[in-house]
Amino acid sequence: MRKWYYEVRKDDSAAVKGIAIMLMLMHHLFAFPTRLLPGVSFKSILTLSNGTPAVVYFAVFGKVCVAIFTLLAGYGIYRSFFRQLQTDRSGDHTQTYISFFARRLKKLYFKVWPVFLVFIPMGLAIGSPYISKDAAVWIKNALLIDTNFNAEWWFLTTYVIFVLLSPMMMGFFNRKRSSLYSDAVIIVIGGIFIERVLLNYVVLTDSLIFL
C-alpha cells in the first residue's frame, strides 16, 4: 500500500495564513465588547434571543487562528531545519541546532525591536499607564519575557518558548520507537503544561487568560 504524503507548499501556507489573519481580525474586533470606549457601540445584523450579537460568537471562534499560526510555524521550522540538517555531513549536529534556532530568534527579535523602539517610547510620552519607567521591565518586555507593555504580544512569548523547545520536540518525534497513542497523550500533556504552567510562570500578565 502506498503511504499518503503531502507537503505544504508556500502557496498553500500563504492561503491558510490569509484565512487565519481574517479570523484574527474578527476575533480582536468583535470578541471583546467590553473594550469599547464609553459611548461607542456597534449594531449587529443578527442578534440572538439572549441579546448577544451573533458576530460575537463568530469572533470567539476566530481564536482558532492561534492554533493555525502555531501549526504553520511549527511545520515551517521542522521542514527548514531538516533541509539544513541534510546538508550537514558532520557526525555531531549540535552546532547545526544552535545556529539554526539562534537565527530563528534573531529574525524574530529584529522584527519586534523596531516596533518596540517606536511605539513603546511613544506610549511613555503620552502617559500610557501600561508603560513603566523601570529599566528591568523594559528589558524583559524587549526580550518578550514579559508582555505587560502590550498584552497582544503574548503569542510572541509562546513562539520563543516553542523555538527553544524545538530541538527536544524534534528529537522526540524522530526517535526510533514511537506510537500514535503514546505520542498523542504526551503531546496533550505537554501542551497543557506549556499553556497553563510555563506561560503563566513566564508571562506575568492576567490579560493572557482572556486572549
Q: What is the mean pLDDT of each run of 10 residues along the chain (211 residues)?
A: 59 90 90 79 76 83 89 83 74 74 90 93 88 90 89 85 80 71 79 71 48 44
* pLDDT given for residue 24 in this prediction: 92
Please count the other Cβ atoms lying within 10 Å of the Cβ belonging to residue 145: 14
Please give the pLDDT value at position 3: 47
Cell numbers found for residue 109: 527579535
Please give the backbone phi and psi of residue 53, each rounded to the nearest 5 degrees, phi first: -60, 135
Nearest to 79 by CA among 181, 182, 166: 166
| Residue 149: closest CA among 136, 162, 168, 163 | 136
CB 82 within 8 A of CB 88: no
Name the H helices within the chain: 10-30, 54-61, 64-87, 94-125, 135-142, 154-173, 180-192, 199-202
Amino acid 142: pLDDT: 92
Burial class of residue 209 (count of CB atoms within 10 Å of its CB; 0-12, 13-18, 19+): exposed
The pLDDT value given to residue 112:
93
Task: Reduce the DSSP state of residue 107 to 3 states and report it.
Answer: helix
Q: What is the pLDDT of residue 198?
A: 67
Contact 101, 166 (CB under 8 A): yes
Q: Give pLDDT, residue 46.
A: 78
| pLDDT given at position 113 | 94
Cα separation, 98 vs 112, in Å, equals 21
**Residue 205 CA to its chain's centroid (Å):** 16
pLDDT of residue 49: 74
CA dihedral sign, ordered 126, 130, 134, 137: negative
Grid cell listed for 110: 529584529
Query: Looking at residue 211, what is its pLDDT?
Result: 44
DSSP string, 24-68: HHHHHHHS-GGGSPTT-----S-B-TTS-BHHHHHHHHTTHHHHH
